[in-house]
Amino acid sequence: MAKQLVIFIAPPGAGKGTQADMLAEKSGFIHIETSKIIEEKFRDAEPGDPAMEEEKRRWLEGELVDAHKVARWLLDRVGKLAGEGKSLVLSASPRALFEVEVELPEFEELYGRDNIKIFYLTLSEEESVRRNSERRICEKNRHPIPRPEYDPRFKDIITCPWDGSPIITRALDKPEVIRERYKIYKAETEPVFNYFREKGYKIIEINGEQPIDKVFEDIMKIFLG
């Protein structure tokens, strides 16, 4: 079977990270999470680097990190894994017009047009704010921890069921920051879909306001064809 590239794009809180993790586990793909790459870069940056400090400040305030940097960081990671024959699932990237213009040609060269699938998980602003407030992730690998109302198995847990690390909340996940991120998403990310369509790609829309398992069921119906 040819290696494949699956792309999830969605507003904050739509569950793209959770769905990408589930698809990776089910299909043996590697999930590359853009936010995790960004966090790694900030963590490993040289102390006192003014450019990185400014990018980190903007990121913590809900603004998008410089698209040029993110695109390069992501392509470096994708290129390495594609060279090893790995199938990948991306969550939240490309998320700006510049990124898709730079990334898509390399994606096509690495995977071929027929092996690229694009999923759009829809979610309203109010639902985005509600879901993201005090969102939980694990400290080690940033696995998203579903809210108990969506999956009772995760009620009252304090460690990640996948890697055993502590469960934490992020400074990013405050209502005012989430609303700003949603507005930026609407302004800068949705034009990405127009670019994909102009290039002949089908955007597969999935209702992201459903329960987690139902969203995944809809994704797998399309994915398995």
Instruction: Flag whether pLDDT at 62 surpasses 70.
Output: no
Pick the CATH number of 5-123+176-224 from 3.40.50.620, 3.40.30.10, 3.40.366.10, 3.40.50.300: 3.40.50.300
Instruction: Flag whether pLDDT at 17 surpasses 80.
Output: yes
Long-range Cβ contact pairs of 145-152 (< 8 A, separation 24 or more): 146/18, 146/212, 150/211, 150/212, 151/212
Q: What is the pLDDT at residue 134?
A: 63
Identity of the highest mean pLDDT range in 59-63, 72-76, 84-88? 84-88
Identity of the highest mean pLDDT range in 56-65, 114-123, 160-169? 114-123
Give the model confidence (pLDDT) of 184-202 as tens digits.
888 888 789 999 999 999 9
**For residue 221, how many other CB atoms are within 10 A of its CB?**
10
More confident residue, 12 or 51: 12
Instruction: Flag whether pLDDT at 173 surpasses 80.
Output: no
Domain segments of the chain as ranges: 5-123+176-224
Q: Of 22-36, 106-120, 133-147, give the lowest mean pLDDT range.
A: 133-147
- pTM higher than the cut 0.85: no
- Smallest CA-to-CA distance from 100 within 214, 198, 33 is with 198
Q: What is the pLDDT at residue 93?
A: 80
Q: What is the pLDDT at residue 172?
A: 61
